[in-house]
Chain A
């Protein structure tokens, strides 16, 4: 069980691309940490550099306060599960799980014992003599996890652990994974491009783009206060509303509405206003507080709620979520007020968060 630290780490590909660019990060002991980002952002490369599979061009990697930047992967006491699980097709489940111990020369009896114990704890009892090809996707994933657990590392690395499972299985496996990590208490770093997965599983998330961290925080922080329009765009199952606006005299003019906005240090009045559809309340009549106004263009049922697309002034559209049963009819006029503290202001030039409007 160990903390992980990365200092000014850079990993450069032979063609000159800086996949990881001067990145620094500290992960606490026992933390379930997510590296989240679109493909090509460097998250897998970062994971592999921590594993030792890619050489760092500069910077340092420390596991448990030991500098392992130049240490061979096999000596870093790290266990890794690959996206395709990498189970050895010619070995049984037991042999696969026990393999890390075999490499270390542990006796066969001891190996089998440990393997049995580990597989039982991961609900794989009774499958010991099967080959990978005879297992379901979910079972294969758990065998790969069992192998990682059995190897007794200080750090667990997961590369897109759920992406090879089909949708239904993925949700079950997610809960399973979260529970497992809690029970084991081992520091875990996992890579994903699925923001819902990262939000559900992680204690903290690093949102990455082009080899750098764009935001580091708890799921709640990243969801509620995305540090930039990039993060805002990436997080959230329904896209955040991001609309151009301009500041003037303590208010922001956006989509034809004038909303209170007290923000200091804005470099220019040109801003992007961000508010999640879930944090907009719809009214049929003009409310007392400042609000967006427009006509309902589209209503999409999402199950327990619906997404209402509202067309405002100048053709700008915003979305708002309403609970089931209160969907307005199309072409009716509606007003939308943001919940307190949920209206975020971003610099139009840099995309960085300037502050929350008002409170």
Chain B
């Protein structure tokens, strides 16, 4: 249920004396208008999130005795997570994934593209932006397959370009492949965001730097970065949140070979629905993910608020 649109639009200020309810809806009908949405959100979004807490303390499975008669086992699942090397592995891999492809990859590439394109001809700018954007809007199953073909050992384009025949990238360097893939996939968002942010830097300050002979790097450091510091933080938080929860790597490596690329989304899936199918345990892990998401999201919204308040 990852939504690709960050609804971070600043709220409209109400006029001095808010004349609401101008259509004469009334509180009752107003409530009725909101009800269906709340119902669906409640059942399919809120309830599952809360129910995770409960399932996480049972030993529910898909099949077998525990499927019919799940027992409450207290914090046993969490205890297990603490000791489980596969879970630790997954956490570590997810961290690498987020750091490599989001914090560094998409951020740097997105900013770099925004900076380089800001003064080029409209043609170059539109063309490059179009390609980068296309990588983002193509459906995930398609781009995953495109990269499978590129990274293929025998016929892949990468091996053809690099002259390294016989390298099975997804098998030999799974995390590196995933990091490059996700950077490629998600840079568009950061690029657009930084483009906007750069356009908001007062041109006279950029020109002053130019007049005193500041180099490109000095200008970025002294004029640009101070203005976009807030945006860098919120952008990083947002794309990190999305990347940490991303399930698409499943389509490329399915967590393999042998758990080497089992980021948390894949770990949960496999724990819950493959093999022994331990839904209780998977649920406990899910709750941990929910809590982590919550922390990041709260931090993000706090940062947004403080920036809007200025």
Contact surface of A with B, Cβ cutoff 8 Å: 51-53, 72-75, 78-80, 82-91, 99-100, 103-104, 147, 151
Contact = CB atoms under 8 A, between A and B. Distances in A.
B218 A78 contact: no
B218 A83 contact: no
A72 to B, nearest CB: 8
B204 A100 contact: no
A51 B213 contact: no
A82 B213 contact: no
B222 A51 contact: no
A147 B214 CA distance: 14
Contact of B211 (A78, A87, A89, A90): A78
A284 B90 CA distance: 103
A53 B207 contact: yes
A87 B227 CA distance: 12
A103 B221 CA distance: 11
B212 A151 contact: yes
29 contacts: A51-B211, A73-B211, A73-B213, A74-B213, A79-B211, A80-B207, A80-B208, A80-B211, A82-B204, A82-B207, A84-B202, A84-B204, A85-B204, A86-B207, A86-B208, A87-B205, A88-B205, A88-B223, A88-B226, A89-B226, A89-B227, A99-B209, A99-B222, A100-B212, A100-B213, A103-B209, A103-B212, A103-B214, A104-B213
Contacts of A87: 205
Contacts of A53: 207, 210-211
Contact of B222 (A72, A88, A104): A88
B226 A90 contact: yes
A88 B204 CA distance: 10
A72 B212 CA distance: 10
A155 B204 CA distance: 18
Contacts of B207: 53, 73, 80, 82, 86
Contacts of B204: 82-86
The 9 closest A-B pairs by CB, nearest first: A74-B213, A100-B212, A86-B204, A82-B204, A90-B226, A86-B208, A86-B205, A103-B214, A80-B211
Given A80-B211, A99-B212, 20 more contacts: A51-B211, A53-B210, A53-B211, A73-B211, A74-B211, A74-B212, A75-B213, A78-B211, A79-B212, A80-B207, A82-B204, A82-B207, A85-B204, A86-B204, A88-B222, A89-B226, A89-B227, A103-B209, A103-B213, A104-B213
Interface string B193-217: 0000000001011011111111100
Contacts of B211: 51-53, 73-74, 78-80
A94 to B, nearest CB: 14
Contacts of A74: 210-214
Contacts of B214: 74, 103
B213 to A, nearest CB: 3
Contacts of A84: 202, 204
A91 B209 CA distance: 13
B202 A86 contact: yes
Contact of B210 (A73, A83, A89, A151): A73
Contacts of B209: 99, 103
Nearest to B214: A103
B310 to A, nearest CB: 11
A78 to B, nearest CB: 7
Kindly name the residue among B207, B209, B211, B218 whose own CB sees the greatest number of chain A CB atoms within 10 A: B211
B40 to A, nearest CB: 46
Kindly name the residue among B205, B212, B213 whose own CB sees the greatest number of chain A CB atoms within 10 A: B212
Contacts of B223: 88
Interface string B225-239: 011000000000000
A40 to B, nearest CB: 19
A182 B216 CA distance: 35
A104 B211 CA distance: 12
B119 to A, nearest CB: 12
Kindly name the residue among B204, B222, B226 whose own CB sees the greatest number of chain A CB atoms within 10 A: B204
Kindly name the residue among A51, A99, A147 whose own CB sees the greatest number of chain B CB atoms within 10 A: A99
Contacts of B205: 86-88
Contacts of B215: 103
A180 to B, nearest CB: 19
A151 B227 CA distance: 24
Nearest to A75: B213
A74 B214 CA distance: 7
A270 to B, nearest CB: 47
Nearest to A51: B211
Contacts of B218: 103
A80 B208 CA distance: 7
Nearest to B212: A100
A84 to B, nearest CB: 5
A88 B212 CA distance: 13
Contacts of A89: 226-227
A219 B103 CA distance: 60
Contacts of A86: 202, 204-205, 207-208
B210 A82 contact: no
A89 B230 CA distance: 14
